Amino acid sequence: MPTFWQVSTESEFLKGDVENLSIDSYGRLTLGPTATPVYESTAPFVWALVSAPDGTTYAGTGNEGQVFKTDASGKTSLFFDAEELEVHAIALAPGGGIYVATSPDGKIYKVDASGKGAVFFDPPDKYIWSLAVDRAGNVFAGTGDKGVIYKIAPDGKGSAFYQTKATHAMSLAFDRQGRLLAGTGSPGRVFQIDPSGKPFVLLDSTYSEIHQIRVDADGTIYAAAIRGRSSGSVDRSTASTPEPTVSAAPVPTVTTEITAIAIVDSSSGGASESTTTTRPPSGPAAGAVFRITADGASDTIWESREDTPYDIAFEPNNTLLLATVNKGKIYRLAGDPFQPTLVTRANAEQVTTLLTDRA
């Protein structure tokens, strides 16, 4: 006989498989959005996504260093195959084509519209984590494990632009004034760097890494910070040698009706009714999202002890989508102050990147 018990909080619902439902922090359920697969590759990781003006999407993957191209009609094909194992960053090249950054001991390739690529810049650094292209066509590359940011001219000649004194320069972006923003790892800081290479620390967090930086239309900066490698996250520096997968125990299933929610424990074999209340995880937060306004003030708008944020995307009406790498959760942050709602869960453990449809 199935065992029934009452659930009321987000963490209790997530003990089962929640499908097509959204759950807010108070445990309230609403119908969730529909998720439609665009393409399912054989690659174990998709690290980077970028969309071209014509509707083409490029996806950088690991562990074979491949870039896949999805055209406006939805057709996907292998676009570029690098010699290295991981493609951690992609940026659009002025005049067409893309820049592709690879690791480990990687290079930056310039790949034309036909998929033909050549080495554009070959730094001595082990990892190339991020790329950003300014209005003049200069390419900036964030690297590790010495935390150097390079500036490469359109002709491929480059040199060190700024030494962060961190282990990794994980994320790059530009503010509305065209100044370079850099998020670092070990320690987790956000730098604002002017065209001459002079830095200013916008955020000195207690977290070990600023994994992603996004800037909205108003110039507000959002930074996704992580404590370190969590139980659900992937260390990108070692992702090329994944550990063997261990089969998990059967997961209880959640089904919903208008009047009740029943959880069928498929592994208990008719165990007695559970009355244990789930306690929230203890210890330091696994990750947080910081907001930095135009005047340099910063605050924490989201924090979690169990979910590690990897990316941020903007929606209309001043709402944010937040991708995490623990059980594939995607949150929406809305309201003033921001309140989180679990929008959906991907059919994967990690949601590594988000891309807003240009349409």
| pLDDT average, residue stretch 22-42 | 70
| pLDDT average, residue stretch 6-30 | 61
Please name every residue paired with 24 in a beta bridge, in sequence order, or none if there are none. Answer: 341
Q: What pLDDT is attached to residue 264?
A: 33
When mean pLDDT is compared over 16-20, 276-280, 319-323, the highest value belongs to 319-323
For the chain, what is the radius of gyration of the CA atoms?
A: 21
Percentage of the chain lying above the pLDDT 90 cut: 63
Element (H, E) at 331: strand 329-334
Q: Is the pLDDT of residue 34 over 80?
A: no
Distance CA(214)–CA(321), nearest Å, equals 12
Considering only 16-30, 52-66, 159-173, 195-209, which range has the smallest mean pLDDT? Answer: 16-30
* All domains of the chain in start order, with CATH: 45-163 (2.120.10.30)
Q: Which residues, including other chains, have CB under 8 Å from residue 295's CB and lie 6 or more apart?
A: none
pLDDT tens digits, 175-200: 999 999 999 999 999 999 999 999 99
Q: Is the pLDDT of residue 233 over 50?
A: no
Q: Is the pLDDT of residue 37 over 80?
A: no
Percentage of the chain lying above the pLDDT 70 cut: 76
- Is the pTM for the entire model greater than 0.85? no
Q: Is the pLDDT of residue 263 over 70?
A: no
**pLDDT band per the 50, 70, 90 thresholds, residue 25:** low
When mean pLDDT is compared over 17-26, 199-208, 243-252, 320-329, the highest value belongs to 199-208
| pLDDT average, residue stretch 285-303 | 95
Q: Is the pLDDT of residue 255 over 70?
A: no
Question: Is 129:170 a contact under the CB 8 Å cutoff?
Answer: yes
